Amino acid sequence: MDVVVIGSGSWGSAFARHLVHRGHHVEVLTLTGAEATGLAATRENPAFLPGVRLPDELTFRAMDEAEIGTADLIVYAVPTQAIRDVATWVASRRSAPSLQLSLAKGYELGSLKRPTQVIRELTGSPAAALSGPNHAEEIGRDMPAATVIASVDMAVAERLQAAVAGDTLRVYTNDDVLGVESCGAMKNPIAVAVGMSDGLGFGDNSRAALMTRGLAEVARLGLAQGARFETFSGLAGVGDLIATCTSRHSRNRRAGELLAGGATPAEAAAQVGQVVEGFPTAYALHDLAARYAVEIPVTENVYEVLEGRRTPSECVADLMGRVPKRE
Ligand SMILES: NC(=O)c1ccc[n+]([C@@H]2O[C@H](COP(=O)([O-])OP(=O)(O)OC[C@H]3O[C@@H](n4cnc5c(N)ncnc54)[C@H](O)[C@@H]3O)[C@@H](O)[C@H]2O)c1
């Protein structure tokens, strides 16, 4: 396949590298010409994926010089809040038969749309979504992993499964695009909460409680939107939640630790240095939960901390003081 990967951050770089090893012709589109020149010259992405060699076959081009009309597959590897800009750019340049695949995990602020909904709105064509426990730092080093590709059209999901799956990446298909994307978005604020708990010096019991009750609220809000229950127990659901909440690679968990250490949200995001999707997603979920009248107490506490209305320590009292419930 001729593949264009838009976004040269951690995931774009690692995923493009993986696709080259699968035998595809891959071009990564960068925001600036200097970035493309640097990546091509050094074959490394020190800002986003240090220590991973990028294959010689991988080409890099600045978006304003790129041609995507002949691409078989367009991959969106940018933060969720940039999907609208990128899809607008793609819409006027792509040829109709190209497939589209979103790697983004979040909800758009304001519209509360998922990445594939924004892409469809702007390009007039559906996009598949890839999601699962897939840290770029590990995929970039060929450590075995599994993921999910979701599409409303199972023939498309199967084509993409065949194109992406390899010796070190097992790919499952799913037609519950809503569920797969919702899981990928909603686990990030839970990981911020777990990071706050870790940063406050709490232990495994606290982490397990946050993850389990976090999954319960993720499923509640997902089901209210129309997702399928089984998706939450799959790789894109509990699988990604485990990876994001427990990994040293997780920026969302790390950002939570920094908040617990007294950093402001802006300081935490700056220190992490790459997109912390859990922050905008907490705002989007606050609005989405109100729309569907669903309680999401863990995420709401993260939202309150981001708003500066509650400290991480005060979240403990809020969560513990909730009305007693049946599990
Ligand atoms: N890093 C991971 O391990 C990982 C794994 C799975 C999913 N994701 C998801 O993939 C998405 C991208 O994450 P990432 O880790 O690569 O982020 P990142 O911060 O490492 O990189 C983002 C990239 O997007 C580019 N970008 C930003 N705005 C752009 C725009 N308007 N046009 C073109 N390019 C733009 C940036 O220049 C940067 O190269 C996020 O939604 C994230 O949740 C990441």
127 domain-assigned: yes
**pTM of the predicted model, to two decimals?**
0.97
Please report whether residue 327 resides in a domain: no
Q: Please name the residue whose Cα sits nearest to atom 30 of ligand 1.
A: 82
Query: What mean pLDDT is predicted for residues 265-287?
Result: 96
Q: Per the structure, how many domains does the chain have?
A: 2
> 203 with 71, same domain?
no
Give mean pLDDT, residues 63-74. Answer: 96
Q: What is the mean pLDDT of residues 250-254?
A: 96
Q: Are residues 188 and 86 in the same domain?
A: no
pLDDT of residue 100: 98
In this structure, the answer to whether residues 146 and 232 fall within a common structural domain is: no
Q: 282 and 220, same structural domain?
A: yes
Q: Is 43 a member of any domain?
A: yes
pLDDT value at 109 more than 80: yes
Q: Which residues constitute the domain of residue 190? A: 178-320
Q: Over 90: is that where the pLDDT of 203 sits?
A: yes
pLDDT at 118 over 90: yes
Predicted pLDDT of residue 97: 87
182 shares a domain with 169: no
Would the CB of 10 count as within 6 Å of ligand 1?
yes
Return the pLDDT at 312: 97
pLDDT tens string 126-175: 999 999 999 999 999 999 999 999 999 999 999 999 999 999 999 999 99
Structural domain ending residue among the three candidates 175, 206, 228: 175
pLDDT, the chain, mean: 97
Quick one: pLDDT at residue 274?
87
The answer to whether the CB of 133 is under 6 A from ligand 1 is no
Residue 255 included in any domain: yes
As a whole number, mean pLDDT of residues 198-221 equals: 97
Ligand 1 atom nearest to CA at 137:
3
118 and 191 in a single domain? The answer is no
Ligand 1 centroid vs 276 CA: distance in angstroms?
A: 10
CATH code, domain carrying 149: 3.40.50.720
Residue 190, domain CATH: 1.10.1040.10
DSSP string, 235-291: IIIIIHHHHHHH-TT-HHHHHHHHHHTT--HHHHHHHH-S--THHHHHHHHHHHHHH
Q: Are residues 238 and 295 in the same domain?
A: yes
Backbone dihedral region for residue 51 (phi beyond 0: left; psi -120 to 50: alpha; all else: beta) = left
Q: Can you give the pLDDT at residue 234? A: 98
161 plus 63 within the same structural domain: yes
Domain presence at residue 22: yes
| Residue 155 sits in the same domain as residue 81 | yes
- With a 6 Å cutoff on the Cβ, whether 64 touches ligand 1 is no
- pLDDT above 70 covers a percentage of the chain that reads 100
> Given a cut of 80, is residue 96 above it in pLDDT?
no
In a domain, 285, yes or no: yes
User: Residues 100-117: what's their mean pLDDT?
Assistant: 98
Residue 281 beta carbon below 6 angstroms from any ligand 1 atom = no
For the question of residue 187 being annotated catalytic, the response is yes
Using the CB atoms, write b or e for 241-252: b if 16+ within 10 Å.
bebbbbbeebbb
**Residue 215 shares a structural domain with residue 77:** no
Q: 8-21, pLDDT tens digit by residue?
A: 999 999 999 999 99
The type of residue at 285 is L
Asked if residue 275 has pLDDT above 90, the reply is no
Asked whether the predicted pLDDT for residue 95 surpasses 90, the reply is no
Query: Is residue 183 located within the same domain as residue 170?
Result: no
On whether both 40 and 51 belong to a single domain, the answer is yes
3-state helix, strand, coil in the chain (%, to 5): 55, 15, 35
Q: Which of 1-5, 44-48, 92-96, 323-327 shows the lowest mean pLDDT across its residues?
A: 92-96
